[in-house]
Amino acid sequence: MILLCNDDGFNADGLRALYHELSQEDDVIIVAPETEQSAMGHAITLSQPLKVRKVVEEGKFIGYAVNGTPADCVKLAIAVLLDEPPRLVVSGINLGGNLGICALYSGTVSAATEAMIMGVPSIAVSLDTYEDPDFSPAAKFIRKLIPTVMKKGLPQGVVLNVNVPPVPEAELAGVAITRQGKSRVVESFDKRADPRNNTYYWMAGEMRFDEVEDGADCVMVSKNYISVTPIHFDLTHYASIDEIKGWKL
């Protein structure tokens, strides 16, 4: 059985496209947030109870909606809701790329990370657009990718972060195995006053592409390649350990 999660919420089109594609040949269960949880990073819910709604559509059980974060959903699914551990977790298809530094803020990636922490192989998948999305090329790619991942096995501690360019299948240039690029969102804050003249701020921001080298996720997606980045969560910067030992703290 394959578990699907996302951060755009249970009813998001990207999740449903993935469900539709993968359920053609696999048992698939969705455990996903009741509402949108974008930019939740690896948040988990400790101070609120989690409620679970069983979802049946057209007479068919398709999964559970949870009033929590993407990481909550994966934890709860594997620890409680599912009868057996899934053989794979796929998180997505996210509306909007998770490229460069943005992967750190991504609830989509965090659901996949949580699965890895719990010992289940996982893939995060995002479509790099916010406009007029066609999720089907991304869904088809994941369907094709799964047997290879299951056969080869992911390296210990590694999650695949897949980003798909928003072009028709015929225009895809191929698949690139990439590194996480350095591009990031440069935030701006829109300052406003409420009706009682209190100041408040809306966070906005634009993606800044600082990266030009081939091999970076964002560069390859801009060239219409599907980007597959192996990511892991040992954050240690090993190269610095000896340097800092030299500080004699």
Binding to a second copy in span 76-95, by CB under 8 A: 76, 79-80
Binding piece for a second copy, criterion CB under 8 A, among 22-30, 122-130, 165-173, 230-238: 230-238
Which residue, among 210, 9, 185, has the nearest Cα to 108 in the 3D structure? 9
Judged by CB under 8 A, the chain residues 159 through 178 that form the site for a second copy are: 160-161, 175, 177-178
Q: Are 160 and 38 in contact (CB under 8 A)?
A: no
Q: How many CB atoms lie within 10 A of CB 209?
A: 16
Q: Is 197 in the site for a second copy (CB under 8 A)?
A: no
Name the residue nearer to a second copy (CB basis): 138 or 228: 228
Minimum CB–partner distance for residue 46 and a second copy (Å): 5
Name the residue nearer to a second copy (CB basis): 58 or 195: 195
Q: Mask 119-138, x = binds a second copy (CB under 8 A)?
A: --------------------
Cβ partners under 8 Å of residue 71, min gap 6: 40, 42, 43, 44, 107, 110, 111, 113, 114
Among 57, 59, 196, 199, binds a second copy (CB under 8 A): 199
Among 71, 89, 99, 120, binds a second copy (CB under 8 A): 71
Binding piece for a second copy, criterion CB under 8 A, among 25-33, 73-81, 88-96, 129-137: 73-81
Name the residue nearer to a second copy (CB basis): 24 or 240: 240
Angle at which helix 13-22 crosses helix 136-152, to 10 degrees, equals 50
Judged by CB under 8 A, the chain residues 93 through 112 that form the site for a second copy are: 101, 103-105, 110
CA 178 vs. chain centroid, Å, equals 16
∠ CA 239-244-246 to the nearest 5 degrees? Answer: 115
Q: Is 209 in the site for a second copy (CB under 8 A)?
A: no
Q: Is 140 in the site for a second copy (CB under 8 A)?
A: no
Q: Is 207 in the site for a second copy (CB under 8 A)?
A: no
Among 24, 83, 155, 168, binds a second copy (CB under 8 A): 155
Q: Is 245 in the site for a second copy (CB under 8 A)?
A: yes
Q: Measured between alpha carbons, how far is 6 from 12 in angstroms, rounded to an integer?
A: 9
For residue 19, what are its two tokens? 């469900």
Q: Is 49 in the site for a second copy (CB under 8 A)?
A: yes
Q: Is 167 exposed, middle or buried (0-12, 13-18, 19+ CB in 10 A)?
A: middle
Q: Is 46 in the site for a second copy (CB under 8 A)?
A: yes
Whole-number Cα distances in Å, 12 to 9, 103, 134, 224? 6, 19, 13, 24
Peptide bond into 117 cis (omega under 30): no
